[in-house]
């Protein structure tokens, strides 16, 4: 499996996302400039100029016409994907940590950090309000405060009815996207939730946490379905649309590595069997922790973005598709 290494960012990656068809890969990093690439050959198509700080999050509308990005420059921006033009900039009072398009493509949310005297909040807007010249003055139709702990990851729930948030405290919460009411609250993780990604069929989701665990949850009840225990902080986790596999990526950051012994870093991507919770393989390559992972919608490729500033696109060999997990014979 020979990877394609994309070196368009000068600083570490924060998030990568494929569009719905999988022909485009969108990447954001700490260097302020979101980029878009062809996923089949790694050619950079263009970049989006406008942010003045680390870009923490990116999401693409289902028709690939518009994109939102959230940044540490206290703004969430709406972009025209094809032209690279900025449509709207929504100003906030602290850094924007995560953002997402609803399934219908008619709403967006973004969350802000607990900083500068502000509490962490979730803001929900309709596309009709922000997709116009004076959209920056639009008011959110819902604000959900998270006073206990900072929201660090979030996704829309089924039918755009709920939003699931992961928190710095290890909590996972489910909110009503129409009223803002807290419906379910659990604390499965002992440390910060770094990433939440939905399964392709929309029935479950996976979390990645600083407490060295990845976990699979029921989307409706937030019940834990599966647990994947690793030996290092997990920064990102993604679910295969083709096989019963999940990939976890992470690694000790530079500061922690100096204080620990043994195998330094552990910067490889780990493949786990989704059902049997067994590790089935590893892919090395990054020179630092993996910050973000994404499966291609076909399941025939995955991409990883690292602290080293590289995005690596991996196309699976035929042997990957022939591999069948052997279940041990019962005694």
pLDDT, tens digit, for every residue of 116-158? 899 999 999 999 999 998 999 999 999 999 999 999 999 999 9
Q: What is the pLDDT of residue 326?
A: 78
Matching residue, tokens 């489910």: 174
Between 327 and 18, where is the model more confident? 18
Q: What is the pLDDT of residue 176?
A: 98
Query: For residue 184, what pLDDT band results from cuts at 50, 70 and 90?
Result: very high
Query: For residue 327, what pLDDT band results from cuts at 50, 70 and 90?
Result: confident
Read off the tokens for 258: 């100096």
Distance (Å, whole) CA 152 – CA 224: 19
| Total Cβ atoms within 10 A of residue 272 | 24
Q: What is the pLDDT of residue 258?
A: 57
Mean pLDDT of 8-23: 97
Residues forming beta bridges with residue 315, ordered by sequence position: 301
pLDDT, tens digit, for every residue of 67-124? 999 999 999 999 999 999 999 999 999 999 999 999 999 999 999 999 989 999 999 9
Matching residue, tokens 């909110």: 175
Mean pLDDT of 282-311: 96
Q: What is the pLDDT of residue 79?
A: 97
Query: For residue 329, what pLDDT band results from cuts at 50, 70 and 90?
Result: very low
Residues forming beta bridges with residue 200, ordered by sequence position: none
pLDDT, tens digit, for every residue of 228-287? 999 999 999 999 999 999 999 999 876 666 555 445 557 899 999 999 999 999 999 899
Q: What is the pLDDT of residue 257?
A: 62
**E strands, 81-171, in order:** 86-91, 96-101, 107-112, 120-126, 142-146, 151-156, 162-167
**Entry pTM:** 0.95
Q: What is the pLDDT of residue 262?
A: 43
Phi, psi of 249 (to 5 degrees): -140, 150
CA-nearest of 299, 315, 242, 229 to 270 is 229
Q: What is the pLDDT of residue 179?
A: 97
């Amino acid at each position: 499996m020979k990877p394609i290494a994309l070196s368009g960012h000068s600083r570490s990656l924060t998030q990568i996302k494929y569009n719905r068809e999988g022909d485009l890969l969108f990447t954001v990093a700490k260097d302020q400039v979101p980029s878009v690439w062809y996923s089949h050959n790694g050619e950079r198509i263009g970049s989006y100029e406008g942010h003045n700080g680390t870009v923490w999050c990116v999401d693409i509308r289902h028709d690939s016409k518009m994109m939102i990005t959230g940044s540490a420059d206290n703004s969430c921006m709406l972009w025209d994907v094809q032209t690279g033009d900025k449509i709207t900039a929504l100003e906030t009072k602290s850094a924007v940590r995560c953002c997402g398009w609803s399934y219908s493509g008619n709403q967006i949310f973004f969350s802000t950090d607990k900083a500068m005297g502000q509490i962490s909040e979730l803001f929900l807007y309709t596309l009709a309000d922000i997709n116009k010249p004076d959209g920056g003055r639009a008011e959110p139709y819902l604000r959900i405060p998270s006073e206990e702990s900072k929201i660090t990851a979030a996704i829309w729930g089924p039918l755009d009815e709920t939003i699931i948030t992961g928190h710095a405290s290890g909590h996972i919460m489910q909110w009503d996207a129409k009223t803002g009411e807290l419906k379910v609250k659990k604390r499965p993780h002992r440390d910060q939730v770094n990433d939440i990604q939905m399964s392709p069929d929309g029935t479950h989701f996976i979390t990645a946490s600083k407490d060295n665990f990845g976990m699979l949850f029921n989307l409706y009840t937030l019940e834990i379905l599966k647990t994947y225990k690793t030996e290092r902080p997990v920064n990102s986790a993604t679910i295969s649309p083709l096989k019963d596999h999940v990939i976890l990526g992470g690694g000790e950051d530079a500061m922690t590595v100096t204080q620990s012994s043994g195998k330094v870093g552990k910067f490889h991507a780990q493949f786990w069997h989704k059902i049997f919770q067994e590790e089935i393989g590893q892919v090395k390559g990054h020179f630092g922790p993996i910050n973000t992972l994404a499966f291609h919608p076909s399941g025939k490729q995955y991409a990883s973005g690292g602290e080293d500033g590289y995005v690596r696109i991996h196309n699976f060999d035929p042997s990957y598709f022939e591999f069948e997990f052997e279940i041990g014979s019962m005694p």
